[in-house]
Structure 1
């Protein structure tokens, strides 16, 4: 227990680092500085118990005690009190207008409270306050009322370091809005992902510290209105690149100190302007050169790399385009060939079928695997004694000509097309081409029709869209290798004969 009795002319009293648990106020007319720090006070001492006991007291240190409840009436009688420090106590609540009655209070420190700390609306509400320290209090926007700083229109310095505003930047912006006179703002180690945009409206701001956060970037025009900003600390963040618009030239010229230390810069040519600035004015950069990466990037290196990059990119893009074009051509080669030859062999003027002179009665479209059936079964039966002339590529195609030319020429000179359909036929690209060409000639009325002989059922995996359409729209003859062969042959011969012979 300690009693502060009158001591003539005593102006400063320091009883810190003791085990004082109770204070009985005395009378000291000239005491200006009183420190009771690092003691065992469980309650706020009532220095207003005797009014005007300390008329000249201007600084009071009560930090590092065990004070759990702040009672304004115990201190607000101190009309000249300017500095009050109640840090590192157990205070857990500041109510509305707690500091409104302090007439001269200009500096207040309530940091490092060991409990969850709640601050109500307009808790400070004192236009005389110039400096406020609320660092290390585990504050969030849930425990800090959105209007906690209302009524502090003259506050010049605010310290909110080592609180937790992770993903709460928007609410923090609202809370900081009333502080229009701020000159110094400390938000280091608050888990911020962005710099609060409200800072752009602080026209008197000279010092901003947002180091040790999670900031990756900020808008180009963020500091446009901070015409007095000359100290900026954005070190120990997650910044990978900084553009010249993020730190415009006007700001760069005005800055006395800047920290970009320990950021994970990606060493690309976009940083050349920054590296040049660092080398030009190294005295402005905190922790230079140890805290900075990419200091060996030069404009010359980037120009060389740019030329090489353009060359490599151009060549790479060329080869990619060639590969893509080749892939497309390979995938649609037969469609492309089909349309090319259709364009080449398109008749200038289609003639009526009745007026055309056909060399063959039918062009036989078949695959090599079905050649034996065509040559040994179909050809003897259909041509012998029936006056039907078939076009067989082994016999009738001219040597020395392109296969595609032979197909188009002989199919156009045939009255009909006989398709010998099998799974091997369905898998053959040449056979698919012949079938597509035949369908085109029928549509153009260059030939009469397509006759289909189905040697076997077509498996689903071999069924193309055009083949499926042909089977659904054309009455086909199904080959049966049994006693009904005569009926099948009669159907084939009837289908291939000229109409006037039927």
Structure 2
């Protein structure tokens, strides 16, 4: 809905609205317009469109929707040739990536109810017939963007859009703005307040360009990335109500900007927002232009992506009206101690200094009125890393500061004196700060802190988190500890006792196997708990029920849960029931559920006898999938539960008890014998290894070596190598085929997607191909280690290698390592192979040498 030129305050500004309720500035009410996202953990992975509406017969478009059909998206590439004709009503319709070449009257008549319409990325669209929007009187937002073959718009195209407020026409094929503007005249678009025509090649704006829009209600105009090099001083004077002007990423001189700003002020246009990002200013901000801005009504000044290496005390004149100053990514390495002093910026509320090369902040001369300070990502680059430091008592005068962003800075530690003076701070972001040490009492000086983001810091690398570190956070609502290396929480020193008012606790991507009721007991107000991407397994005593904690949302996706224990079912039932108008959510996808009688029979029986309607509805509507056995892999757990044959599982259970009884005594005796034998083997293991080594050499020399070697010399292999890989590495395999099969000596590889016979069983084809191949190549990556099929193929390859081992140098197994592999995904065989065999590591920077070495291994004579 918005162009690619994103507003600079699109970070945490929305939090000011939430937490700075008593700030003495009307500016806070305006921040909402620029709030496009926030730092809270999102359980919505982008815009999910789970409802498949099918193919629209009249157009060939494929359409999907969100639940409730409030948002519908239609697409189709080379199938969707006409505008879809949907029979369902929604608030939002998006038609994208089609081959529609024109829109004519009647195509949109049935969509009179829409509030938002996006027609985007339809690269064959060349014509929109005037009057096509005649019945769309309820439409408030219209985007016709990224249609590169749309070169013009008729003056009457938008007739009927009486209530349209926002019009976005970004990155089309427009080249003449004078021909475009008459379509926006107020007689046709009387309610228009925001016009975005960025990323079109206009180059020049003359004195008469916007005359057709005289009397327009437009308040915001976006002209970013339009290759503008000339704007007449009288260009914007017809737009009397204009308040926000975005001119970033154009090639305008400071002199031109001065002239039209002076002219706009003379005409009584009270401009409040000015975007001059990426204009090309060098060395320092243009003084004359800044003086003109200082005398204007502009409150928000955006100078991002220019180049000011050193910002001195005299770089800015006194600017009493400026409330927001954006200096992101201006390559600054030094700032004068009085540059932003209250005497120059008495009303400065938001200051952006992120994405620069600052070594830290060591002075306390910031504006007393500052509410938002962004110093994130001042870490330089890989060649010139920057270490970020905060001086003692730096924030001693920052009593009004509410939001402090220090993320993506190379800060190793924070101490009890780091944040002195921030008694009213509401949001502190320390994400990706490389923090490994938090001093005792560090947060004590921030008693009103509401949000603390410590994600992606190695906090638990050298120490356990302690309650003393988090002392003073009694009002904290949101705590983000994503990817901090946490393995467990110590109940005897429960850190959450210091934060009893937490509503959102994010523990994603740590190393937690379990969590106890004692850990959760202090969190009586918990609403969201994210434990996804950990190592959690099923728990065998009630967790949430015992802790008395009833969150609205729990995320347990991508863990190691294989079954539903009775305690899990009881906790789920407790969370889901009696919520009134609220609907609780429990996410359990991407776990390793085993669907057989031993794990699911008791679950099914309990649900049938004791399960409430709420828990039954949860299982009926869930998409939780089975991981094993093979016959049920990727199928829904509820489908298995409903297909259980009660008698068979009951017979299985009774037979299982009988078998256990019958084999108890023999098993006990066998266990004792195994312990004795194992003790003997362990005690004399060195002698046994030596005897086995001598026996192997003797036998190999006399029998096996001769027979296997002669057999191998006589055998004619169908393939030079069988390649085992996962689908995610398909591109690498294509390159391997190209390198080894099309260049001398023209090897023959077995690739299952190409060489397996259609209709044959995969397992039989794999066994046959390994036996018919001289070598077996394992392309080991993170995705390979996760795949059950790849693990099975690894076992076969290892057995094949052991069978052919004859004391010679011939080894049929070749390993290729692709990137870093997480240890938790490696099974025993893979760990053994990686530690005992020399492998080929893929080197992107030296591909020729890599392929040469691999070719030499496969063609080596044995």
**Aligned residue for 1:313?**
660
- Aligned equivalents of 2:540, 2:470: Cα separation in 1: 27
Map of 1:270-289 to 2, 5 A cutoff? 270=566, 273=569, 277=573, 284-285=584-585, 288=587
Gaps of 5+ in 1: 327-502
- How far residue 10 of structure 1 moved from its aligned partner, in angstroms, is 1.0
Q: Alpha carbons of 1:266 and 1:67: their partners in 2 closer, same or farther (altered >3 Å)?
A: same
1:291 equivalenced with 2:593 (yes/no): no
- Aligned equivalents of 1:301, 1:316: Cα separation in 2: 28
Contact 1:267/1:294 (CA < 8 Å) preserved in 2?
A: yes
**Aligned residue for 1:124?**
419
**Aligned residue for 2:553?**
257
**Aligned residue for 2:175?**
none
CA offsets, 1:418-441, max 9 Å, x none?
Answer: xxxxxxxxxxxxxxxxxxxxxxxx
1:10 equivalenced with 2:298 (yes/no): yes
TM-score, normalising length: structure 2? 0.34
- Aligned equivalents of 1:245, 1:300: Cα separation in 2: 15
Map of 1:213-232 to 2, 5 A cutoff? 213-232=510-529
CA offsets, 1:191-210, max 9 Å, x none?
Answer: 11124621144221101001
State the structure with bigger RCO (CA 8 A, min sep 6), 1 or 2: 1
Contact 1:146/1:171 (CA < 8 Å) preserved in 2?
A: no
- How far residue 17 of structure 1 moved from its aligned partner, in angstroms, is 1.7
1:67 equivalenced with 2:358 (yes/no): yes
Between stretches 22-31 and 185-194, larger displacement belongs to 22-31
- Aligned equivalents of 2:396, 2:653: Cα separation in 1: 63
Q: Alpha carbons of 1:276 and 1:51: their partners in 2 closer, same or farther (altered >3 Å)?
A: closer
Contact 1:242/1:274 (CA < 8 Å) preserved in 2?
A: no
TM-score, normalising length: structure 1? 0.57
**Aligned residue for 2:326?**
35
- How far residue 73 of structure 1 moved from its aligned partner, in angstroms, is 2.6
- Aligned equivalents of 1:272, 1:250: Cα separation in 2: 13
- How far residue 219 of structure 1 moved from its aligned partner, in angstroms, is 2.0
- 368, 383, 387: which one pairs with 1:79? 368
- Aligned equivalents of 2:540, 2:395: Cα separation in 1: 44
Contact 1:206/1:228 (CA < 8 Å) preserved in 2?
A: yes
**Aligned residue for 2:347?**
56
SS in 1 for 2:662: helix
- Aligned equivalents of 2:669, 2:342: Cα separation in 1: 94
- How far residue 274 of structure 1 moved from its aligned partner, in angstroms, is 6.7
- Aligned equivalents of 2:498, 2:657: Cα separation in 1: 43
Contact 1:111/1:134 (CA < 8 Å) preserved in 2?
A: yes
1:104 equivalenced with 2:400 (yes/no): yes
* Aligned Cα root-mean-square deviation (Å): 3.3
Q: Alpha carbons of 1:35 and 1:99: their partners in 2 closer, same or farther (altered >3 Å)?
A: same
- Aligned equivalents of 2:671, 2:296: Cα separation in 1: 97
Q: Alpha carbons of 1:307 and 1:130: their partners in 2 closer, same or farther (altered >3 Å)?
A: farther
- How far residue 306 of structure 1 moved from its aligned partner, in angstroms, is 5.4
**Aligned residue for 2:446?**
152
SS in 2 for 1:170: coil
CA offsets, 1:241-268, max 9 Å, x none?
Answer: 234522227756x322111010011336
Q: Alpha carbons of 1:222 and 1:29: their partners in 2 closer, same or farther (altered >3 Å)?
A: same
CA offsets, 1:55-106, max 9 Å, x none?
Answer: 211111110001113133331xx12111100001145222332222212011
- Aligned equivalents of 1:167, 1:117: Cα separation in 2: 12
- How far residue 272 of structure 1 moved from its aligned partner, in angstroms, is 5.5
SS in 1 for 2:458: coil
Map of 1:134-283 to 2, 5 A cutoff? 134-141=430-437, 144-195=438-489, 197-243=494-540, 245-248=542-545, 254-267=550-563, 269-270=565-566, 273=569, 277=573
- How far residue 21 of structure 1 moved from its aligned partner, in angstroms, is 1.9
- Aligned equivalents of 1:192, 1:28: Cα separation in 2: 47
SS in 1 for 2:433: coil
- Aligned equivalents of 1:261, 1:72: Cα separation in 2: 45
Q: Alpha carbons of 1:158 and 1:323: their partners in 2 closer, same or farther (altered >3 Å)?
A: closer
Contact 2:310/2:332 (CA < 8 Å) preserved in 1?
A: yes
- Aligned equivalents of 1:237, 1:290: Cα separation in 2: 13
- How far residue 322 of structure 1 moved from its aligned partner, in angstroms, is 8.4
SS in 1 for 2:663: helix
Larger-gyration structure (1/2): 1
Between stretches 33-42 and 88-97, larger displacement belongs to 88-97
**Aligned residue for 1:449?**
none
CA offsets, 1:145-177, max 9 Å, x none?
Answer: 233223122211111110002354535433112
Q: Alpha carbons of 1:165 and 1:73: their partners in 2 closer, same or farther (altered >3 Å)?
A: closer
SS in 2 for 1:258: strand
CA offsets, 1:274-315, max 9 Å, x none?
Answer: 7965996897446x4643442853535578465554333222
How many residues were matched structurally?
319
- Aligned equivalents of 2:605, 2:375: Cα separation in 1: 56
Contact 2:465/2:495 (CA < 8 Å) preserved in 1?
A: no
- Aligned equivalents of 2:572, 2:551: Cα separation in 1: 16
Q: Alpha carbons of 1:275 and 1:174: their partners in 2 closer, same or farther (altered >3 Å)?
A: closer
- Aligned equivalents of 2:533, 2:551: Cα separation in 1: 19
Contact 1:45/1:74 (CA < 8 Å) preserved in 2?
A: no
- Aligned equivalents of 1:275, 1:178: Cα separation in 2: 31
- Aligned equivalents of 1:184, 1:49: Cα separation in 2: 31
